[in-house]
Structure 1
Amino acid sequence: MGLFRSHCYSIYCNSLWSRFKVATLNRLKVCHTDKRLLGLPRWCSSSLAFARNGVNNLDVIRRHSMFSLMSRVELCANSSITSVRQSSAYVCGPIQQRWLGLLFVQNVG
């Protein structure tokens, strides 16, 4: 599990992803939960194995990464970062929209 965490938690810059197809993200989720990486038989639940071993799923990893970056941007006192943060490109841009979409997941049903 330690090896899995070190390799699969490091999805660099995933908090900046704003343009991708849902099918692409779904393929990434399938790769992330590949039972062969965990050494599990086909019939075993990878979700249950993750839960028992304290391993986060891809959605949780992405939310943590995004929230971490968003918090650092909001608290940064650097003048360049502040000017970008106050621009309409940041406030209304695709990255901000993706962040808000990840933070405020709506339950349907």
Structure 2
Amino acid sequence: MEVFLSHCYSIYCNSLWLRFKVATLNRLKVCHNDILKRILGLPRWSSSSLAFARNGVNNLGVFRRHSAFSVRSRVEVSKNSIITSVRQSAAYVCGPIQQRWLDLLFVHNEG
């Protein structure tokens, strides 16, 4: 489990990922799930959700939401003058990074 956590969660700056295709992120998720199952000796067709839950490990979606929340929280409370200027700009408030963070952090009910 330590190998999995140290190597598969070293996805630095993932909260800043903006330009990716959904298919690319889905392939990353499948690889992430498959690696955990291989380490645990589980068949590829077994439940990834169950494997993550039984081993107390966050799946890729949870990890990405946690990363986005963490960086967004640090930006919001920073006293650094440069970060404060950026945080108060329209580019930050209405920009693509802010939108991506909100999309990750909040579930949108459609219908």
Q: Does the TM-score normalized on the shorter chain lie above 0.5?
A: yes
Report the alpha carbon displacement of residue 107 of structure 1 after superposing the two structures with TM.
4.2
Report the alpha carbon displacement of residue 20 of structure 1 after superposing the two structures with TM.
1.1
Question: In the TM superposition, what whole-angstrom CA distance separates every residue of 1:59-108 from its partner, at most 9, and x where no partner exists?
Answer: 00000000000000000001000001111111111110000111111245
Paired position in structure 2 for 1:95? 97
Q: Distance in 2 between matches of 1:96 and 1:62?
A: 14
Q: Which moved more, 1:1-10 or 1:81-90?
A: 1-10
TM-score for both structures, normalised by structure 2: 0.90
Segments ≥4 residues shifted beyond 3 Å: none
Q: CA contact under 8 A between 1:15 and 1:99: conserved in structure 2?
A: yes
Paired position in structure 1 for 2:42? 40
Question: Alignment RMSD, CA only?
Answer: 1.5
2:52 partner amino acid? F
- Partner SS, residue 20 of structure 1: coil
Question: In the TM superposition, what whole-angstrom CA distance separates every residue of 1:17-63 from its partner, at most 9, and x where no partner exists?
Answer: 11111111101100110132433223432221110010101000000
Q: Which runs of 5+ in 1 are unaligned?
A: none
TM-score for both structures, normalised by structure 1: 0.91
Report the alpha carbon displacement of residue 9 of structure 1 after superposing the two structures with TM.
1.5
Summarize the alignment of residues 18-57 of structure 1 with structure 2, pairs less than 5 Å apart.
Answer: 18-34=18-34, 35-57=37-59
Distance 1:56 1:107, change over 3 A: farther
- Partner SS, residue 33 of structure 1: helix
Q: Distance in 2 between matches of 1:54 and 1:61?
A: 13
